[in-house]
Structure 1
Amino acid sequence: MLRDGWVPTMCYQCKAECAILARVEDGVLKEVRGNPRGRGKACVKGMAGVSLQYNADRLTQPLRRVGRRGEGRFEPCGWDEALDAIAGKLQELRDRGEAHKLTASFFPHSISDPKWRFLNAYGGFINTALPHCDSAKIVAFIKAMGGVPNHHIPPAFFTVPKGGIMIMAGRHAFGCLDDAAVPRDILEAKARGAILVVLDPLFTADAAKADWWIPIRPSGDTALFTGMTHHIVMNGLHNTHFVENWVREGDFERLKDYLADKTPEAMSRICDVPAKDIIRLAEMCAAAPSVGVDSFKGIMLGQAMDFGHAWTNFLAVTGNIDNPGGQPLPDLTPLAPVEPVPPAPNLHERGWHRTGPDRDKFAKYSFIMEPTWYQAQAIKNGDLKVLVVAECNPALTEMGQEEWRSAATMTDSKGNYLLEMLVSYEIMLSETSRYADYVLPDKTYFERWELLYMPWWYNFGQGIGLRQPVVEAPEGCRHSNEVFIELGKRLCPEYFAFKDDVEFYDRQLTGLGLSVKKLQDLGGLWSPGTLGFRKYEKAGGFGTPSGKVHLYWEDLEEVGQALPRVDLAPEYRVDAEQYPYVLLSYRTIFHQGSGQWTHNNPQLRDPVGGFRDNPLLINTATARKEGIKDGDLVTLRSRSGQVRVRAKCTERIRPDCLGLHHGFGSSIGRVAVDGGGVSDNALIPDSGTTLDWQDLVGGESHVSTRVRLEL
């Protein structure tokens, strides 16, 4: 039963999903604050959730496409009609032996989610934006340390001791892409005497708070960390106890041989950081009581797979794995399995990027999900037939967005779409919904139930968080989890013998002696109350085959990645004379992607208190050279597209780089249209055509697209 007052729930204005309190009066949401029991902070995006809830563009009934894909022409239909059509197509797909050609594209904020269960039971795959941001780190950490995927556990900044080093490598923590409490934790660590170092071509809010800003060349991160590791190892400054006891036998010797020519001077020529600064930072880290490195959510700087490898090697030789202020390893909370447990499809055998023409290349890498950036290619290959999209907007947020839109409208010789069905769950219409066959009205995060459990997530020691309805949803809206449960009852009934989402969560919570009601009584949060460090000592080692950290990856020997490649990513060298600048995509606290959360939020697009559009950041010296004045309209052109954008001259960016805030450019919704802005993805090449540049290294071209300026 809904109630007035301060109600605990979980934010979803971005993917950090902080614990919040929502104030409700007479059934109306009035205010949002951070929950003191859950780190106690809400950022400006979270507090602006009230505006999202009452946006006038809200969808309240299913829509069926009546025009061609891309035209955005729909008519209302009933839920029964929509579900019959979707279930019928899925049944047909499975009957012809192609269940693996279904994917659901959504943000996997909880592995308790019924969507995962449905896809396992049916035989489809999860598809997520994770490979854009974190796949390389996930793969690197699995290979180096084993265990469950260490998705994005940043350093526990509240544990950093006096003298500890906090390195933000292309990372915008003050943009609140982690947790609204992280900026506070970093500033409190600094007050204790910790040191903040920011590696970024852009002078960010993090850089403004840093003790040392290093304006590194994009893609130079691997070289910089390797240069530091060289200096530490060759001068005997490494943590001998950790190396001798917890690094696999023989790996340190192999690393030392590899490092022989990776001197700070040699690495300086790649990363454009003076050798003396590489040495200084290396010695600071070797002497510090802890070093924590955070990256991958803001600007990724280069070949991310190699950077992840160099990063973990650096952590290992300095002994900063699962220690206070270093790199935490995930704690697991024992949720009970809901019997019978559907077997997960074998991604390596049936996944669509494993069956297409690029399968031999993909087979060498350990991607754990279907990558969103390969959707367009999979459609063209005939490997993706049904796409269900929830809480994301691939027509605007995908690299090579124009190719995605083109692929969604491609037909065979008979005029049938190659992508046979596209279903989009939406709070309000988006660019993606223009291409959908059915648009289903979703519930907001203030109207739905969700049990949030992600053992490798941001909120340390949280364990379980409960998102619960605080206000009534408009009649006609259904949460995507509810719909997947209904589809499961129709298509895989043996795995969906429970009433609804709440009963499903109740069964999972029995492993903790909890229920949804008991969790509500606890204030919506349950935690073991501890973070724990050096768990590998009590566990008898790491989750790798040897039980120790692996610095050398023999499974990647034949592709030259047994140890990190330190050169700049190849796209930095191609057509450099024709396209002399590197485009940086960045984020701020006001805006998170271009999905349902913040893009059409009037508070966040306010011209005074928000971020109305995204002018092109250009260094003042570069502007003078190009004859550009502040406020000029310029054309920014890449190999794959162009945009017309207002220039903003600033000293906050390297002269060889240009900056665009990510996530703008929507033409749908009154706030988006009024606010303006351009999409950086219009400039970024399609992943299917640049596979070796970005996808196979677990990276993205958001920071490696070469561009030129034209007046």
Structure 2
Amino acid sequence: MPQANLSRRSFLRTSGALGALAGAGGAVAATDALFGSGVPCAHAAPDEKTVWGHCAINCPGRCPLRFHVVDDEVTWVESYATPDAGFEDPQPRACLRGRTYRRWMNGPDRVNYPMRRVGRRGEGRFERVSWDEALDAIASELRRIIDAYGNESVFLTYATGVSSTTARTLPRLMNCLGGYLAGYGDYSAMQMQRILPVVQGMTGFYGSTLNAAEEAELILAFGTSPVETRQGGAVSHYDWVRLREKAGARIIYIDPRLSDSAMGGAGEWLPINPGTDAALVSAIAHELVVGDLIDKEFLDAYCVGFDEDTMPPSARGQNRSYRDYLMGTGYDKVEKTPEWAAPITGVPAARIRELAREVGTAKPLFVVQGWGPQRRSNGEMNCWSITMLPLLTGQVGLPGTNHGGREGSFSIGLKSIPAGQNPVKASIPVFLYTDAIDHGTEMTALNAGVQGAPALTQNIKCILNYAGNCLTNQHGNINRAHDILADESKCELIVVWETAMTDSAKYADYLLPDLFRFEQRSLIGTGGDVAYLVAGEACTTPKFERKSLYECLTLLARRLGVEEAFTEGKTESEWIEQLYEETRAKDAGLPTYAEALARGVYLRENPRGRTIVHEAFRADPAANPLSTPSGKIEIYSETLAQIAAAWDLGPEDVIAPVPVYTPGFTETDVPTERLPLRCSGFHYRGRLHSSWGGIELLRQANPQELWINPADAEPRGIAAGDRVRVANDFGATELIAKVTPRVVPGTVCMAQGAWHDADMGGDRVDRGGCINTITTHRPSPLAKGNPQHSNICEVTKA
């Protein structure tokens, strides 16, 4: 028998084909198929086509994916690896998660048919129904609810499972029906989104691109780990790694955890207790003032409220400036010395003084923060305080600088399908949707951040949830969310569109099978220091009874009498082409639509090379004023002072007119004898939020672990690999212990997004390591946002 030539790549491709057949229900004996005749299947050389698609999960990488397809089945997935951009090609390659899509496509959790709930909400018991049965019932119930309670009773939940130019068509359908209760903000960065526009007059919150930091002398990175949070593509993961390699700057990582971004590169880890960044900054700022290291000329020309010289008339002569706060002449009469900050932050006073000298003398200084420091009960103040360091030293709007917020990016702005006008003017913070189910009519602009109206007139009675796991898994205090969602007298209809049986999908009254974006024509744009777009075709025909959201909503719109208004007579493919041509009409440098589809991936350099936030304002503040009331950066904010005076705030809700340190909420931030440990979340390589959480291969490669310092593990008798229980007043979850010095003593960390796995009719102990079993639902004071890094707990062996 002749010797068969079977390369490793050929073997993997062939194995992939067999896996696809097995996942689709095909019966095939792998041993016989490969070796039974003595000739590998790869030598059969079946007709193979390759199709471009893209990842569409809530990661800015939006990675290009190239699907290899045989007999209408995906056999293996690769990514972009062709340097044809005509410049230094960043090669936006997919991470290991994107390369496992075939397992998700054909996995046991895949939703294949329309289903109707037959058990209690949350049990996950369903029966298969036809599309006609499901859509007829949904249309009837939706119409009944609108007629009985009004359009304000229908809520479209926050969700990030799908992105593309035509992904968000639910708002369009609901606006054709008279509107819906909208949500504003998100679960990731709501505190930053709220505070930075108020004090720095920005339409968004992003700053300089990371390549601007190549010119910096010192880079301060607060709570950011791009190589974990944004793994794939050519966005901040790629840009950060390149920055570490190319920059001559010193990098200091300020974080409770020694992250993967800080590993394997030059730099210093400065461990800090979680939620205390504002205290550290206050002490550094104190030393900058004492050491005469501030840029007073910049502060006087470009800022309001550093000291009495630039205070607004309403606050003049009252010792309310930021300098007064620092020097102990302000409202609390406490001088913010390094000795004051050391026991709070865990950073020694001597190191704080050294760091102040480094900050005060570094030029340029690049200060950047991730979303971790602001995702706390005191998140707005934490975020705002970090931005003070570049302001005090005048390191804003110049080469090599940033404004202290998140790094920016350069992208191609593709048009999305228009949603139309929403006749319902009220909107709520997305994080408070369970409140709006439970007691929506008690929510006002002053106590719950309702926008567009003074108060809600109706509780939420219907939820339409597309491609999201925020009903429970990603929401605060899962046990509370369960109790509210399970009560059918409160929310009367929940419809979920999903690809997999997530924890949130178990709460659906009707669960409808969705297609991945690469299972249909799709178009998306993104970028970091370099922009790119991906144009893709369907990799296979739709399997089982899965439908695209657009097709499903078209059928639903027909039943509701608004099909023509919804579709305007166009298919989804026709919409995509029209939206692209509208974009290209304003950006002639883009390839034609046909060329984009043929090419698959198109890359573009930033014509300016790099983006520097506030550059125009720094060059000429009179000609380029900010959108703040003063037109300047506001270190003292009259807007925040007015909000604090007018809003109905609870105990320990701090909205201050200058950036101050506050420890947060006692019940979530202040350790006690009973709950002595802080617990903070982080993003994980094996998942993107909860996406890919059901992929067993990734769970094996990236087990869900609790990071615990040896100083905390030893007295509890915990060793590496032990199964432990993390518990507090909100709930309990179990996972494996990772005993490591890479987390500060007194703090434990667990990756967010693990799939919740609890008997909700029994002990409710989560065996999946889902952090939101132990998080609060009490929102941050100003943004009414997600504070899910603020937790106290105890850890014991399970």
TM-score in same-fold range (> 0.5) = yes
How far did residue 618 of structure 1 move? 2.1
The one of 197, 200, 222 equivalent to 2:255 is 200
**Distance between the aligned counterparts of 1:541 and 1:237, measured in 2?**
26
The one of 377, 381, 392 equivalent to 2:468 is 392
In the alignment, which residue of structure 2 is the partner of 1:624?
Answer: 714
How far did residue 522 of structure 1 move? 5.5
Q: Which amino acid aligns with 1:701?
A: Q
How far did residue 549 of structure 1 move? 2.3
Matched, 1:347 2:426: yes
Matched, 1:523 2:600: yes
SS in 2 for 1:199: strand
Matched, 1:289 2:364: yes
In the alignment, which residue of structure 1 is the partner of 2:677?
Answer: 581
How far did residue 638 of structure 1 move? 0.4
Matched, 1:357 2:357: no
The one of 63, 66, 72 equivalent to 1:22 is 66
How far did residue 233 of structure 1 move? 4.8
Could you say if the C-alpha distance between residues 348 and 556 of structure 1 is closer, same or farther in structure 2, counting changes exceeding 3 Å?
A: farther
**Identity between Structure 1 and Structure 2 (%):** 21
Deviates more, 1:162-171 or 1:297-306: 297-306
Could you say if the C-alpha distance between residues 141 and 695 of structure 1 is closer, same or farther in structure 2, counting changes exceeding 3 Å?
A: closer
**Distance between the aligned counterparts of 2:295 and 2:555, measured in 1?**
55
How far did residue 77 of structure 1 move? 1.5
Matches within 5 A, 1:413-562: 417-452=489-524, 459-460=528-529, 462=531, 465-466=534-535, 468-488=537-557, 490=560, 492=562, 493-494=564-565, 496-509=567-580, 510-513=582-585, 516-517=593-594, 519-521=596-598, 523-525=600-602, 529-530=606-607, 531-533=610-612, 534-536=615-617, 540-557=624-641, 558=645, 560-562=655-657
How far did residue 323 of structure 1 move? 5.2
SS in 1 for 2:186: helix
How far did residue 134 of structure 1 move? 0.3
- Structure 1 residues 590-636: Cα deviation after superposition (integer angstroms, max 9, x where no partner): 22222xx3112233123xxx113x23322212222223333334432
Matched, 1:570 2:665: yes
SS in 1 for 2:369: strand
Could you say if the C-alpha distance between residues 190 and 696 of structure 1 is closer, same or farther in structure 2, counting changes exceeding 3 Å?
A: closer
Could you say if the C-alpha distance between residues 305 and 550 of structure 1 is closer, same or farther in structure 2, counting changes exceeding 3 Å?
A: same
How far did residue 133 of structure 1 move? 1.8
In the alignment, which residue of structure 2 is the partner of 1:77?
Answer: 129
Q: Which amino acid aligns with 1:389?
A: N
Matches within 5 A, 1:55-94: 55-94=107-146
The one of 639, 644, 647 equivalent to 2:737 is 647
SS in 2 for 1:473: coil
**Distance between the aligned counterparts of 1:4 and 1:644, measured in 2?**
45
In the alignment, which residue of structure 2 is the partner of 1:219?
Answer: 275
How far did residue 639 of structure 1 move? 0.8
In the alignment, which residue of structure 2 is the partner of 1:132?
Answer: 187
SS in 2 for 1:296: coil
Kept in 1, the 8 Å contact 2:165–2:576? The answer is no
Matched, 1:682 2:748: no
Matches within 5 A, 1:106-121: 106-107=159-160, 109=163, 113-121=168-176
Deviates more, 1:396-405 or 1:139-148: 139-148
In the alignment, which residue of structure 1 is the partner of 2:36?
Answer: none
In the alignment, which residue of structure 2 is the partner of 1:274?
Answer: 348
Could you say if the C-alpha distance between residues 481 and 268 of structure 1 is closer, same or farther in structure 2, counting changes exceeding 3 Å?
A: farther
**Distance between the aligned counterparts of 2:202 and 2:426, measured in 1?**
18
- Structure 1 residues 361-381: Cα deviation after superposition (integer angstroms, max 9, x where no partner): 44568899x9xxxxxxx9xx9
In the alignment, which residue of structure 1 is the partner of 2:214?
Answer: 161
Deviates more, 1:359-368 or 1:564-573: 359-368
In the alignment, which residue of structure 2 is the partner of 1:262?
Answer: 336
Q: Which amino acid aligns with 1:173?
A: P
Kept in 1, the 8 Å contact 2:117–2:509? The answer is yes
Matched, 1:232 2:288: yes
Could you say if the C-alpha distance between residues 396 and 349 of structure 1 is closer, same or farther in structure 2, counting changes exceeding 3 Å?
A: closer
**Distance between the aligned counterparts of 2:725 and 2:783, measured in 1?**
31
SS in 2 for 1:428: coil
Could you say if the C-alpha distance between residues 345 and 501 of structure 1 is closer, same or farther in structure 2, counting changes exceeding 3 Å?
A: farther
How far did residue 136 of structure 1 move? 0.5
How far did residue 180 of structure 1 move? 4.2
SS in 1 for 2:789: helix
How far did residue 335 of structure 1 move? 5.9
Gaps of 5+ in 1: 371-377, 412-416, 669-674
Q: Which amino acid aligns with 1:271?
A: T
Q: Which amino acid aligns with 1:284?
A: E
Work out the number of aligned pairs and report it.
Answer: 672
Kept in 1, the 8 Å contact 2:364–2:395? The answer is no
Kept in 2, the 8 Å contact 1:119–1:126? The answer is no
The one of 240, 244, 247 equivalent to 1:186 is 240
Compute the TM-score of the two structures, normalised by the length of structure 2.
0.75
Kept in 1, the 8 Å contact 2:114–2:128? The answer is yes
In the alignment, which residue of structure 2 is the partner of 1:410?
Answer: 487
How far did residue 222 of structure 1 move? 1.6
**Distance between the aligned counterparts of 1:702 and 1:403, measured in 2?**
18
Q: Which amino acid aligns with 2:147?
A: D
SS in 2 for 1:207: coil
Kept in 2, the 8 Å contact 1:638–1:708? The answer is no
Q: Which amino acid aligns with 2:552?
A: V
Kept in 2, the 8 Å contact 1:172–1:205? The answer is yes
SS in 1 for 2:753: coil
Gaps of 5+ in 2: 1-46, 312-320, 328-334, 646-653, 759-765
Matched, 1:599 2:693: yes
In the alignment, which residue of structure 2 is the partner of 1:414?
Answer: none
**Distance between the aligned counterparts of 1:575 and 1:220, measured in 2?**
14
How far did residue 76 of structure 1 move? 1.4
Could you say if the C-alpha distance between residues 500 and 605 of structure 1 is closer, same or farther in structure 2, counting changes exceeding 3 Å?
A: same
Deviates more, 1:434-443 or 1:11-20: 11-20
Could you say if the C-alpha distance between residues 517 and 240 of structure 1 is closer, same or farther in structure 2, counting changes exceeding 3 Å?
A: farther
**Distance between the aligned counterparts of 1:563 and 1:340, measured in 2?**
38
**Distance between the aligned counterparts of 1:528 and 1:633, measured in 2?**
49
Kept in 2, the 8 Å contact 1:156–1:325? The answer is no
Kept in 1, the 8 Å contact 2:377–2:779? The answer is no
Could you say if the C-alpha distance between residues 573 and 403 of structure 1 is closer, same or farther in structure 2, counting changes exceeding 3 Å?
A: closer
In the alignment, which residue of structure 1 is the partner of 2:225?
Answer: 172
Could you say if the C-alpha distance between residues 463 and 554 of structure 1 is closer, same or farther in structure 2, counting changes exceeding 3 Å?
A: farther
Kept in 2, the 8 Å contact 1:218–1:302? The answer is no
Kept in 1, the 8 Å contact 2:425–2:452? The answer is no
How far did residue 343 of structure 1 move? 4.1
How far did residue 158 of structure 1 move? 2.8
Kept in 1, the 8 Å contact 2:121–2:485? The answer is yes
**Distance between the aligned counterparts of 2:536 and 2:297, measured in 1?**
44
In the alignment, which residue of structure 1 is the partner of 2:78?
Answer: 32
How far did residue 405 of structure 1 move? 1.4
Kept in 2, the 8 Å contact 1:234–1:256? The answer is no
In the alignment, which residue of structure 2 is the partner of 1:316?
Answer: 391
**Distance between the aligned counterparts of 1:221 and 1:227, measured in 2?**
10
**Distance between the aligned counterparts of 1:298 and 1:8, measured in 2?**
37
- Whichever of the two has the greater Rg, that structure is 2
**Distance between the aligned counterparts of 1:124 and 1:4, measured in 2?**
46
How far did residue 577 of structure 1 move? 1.7
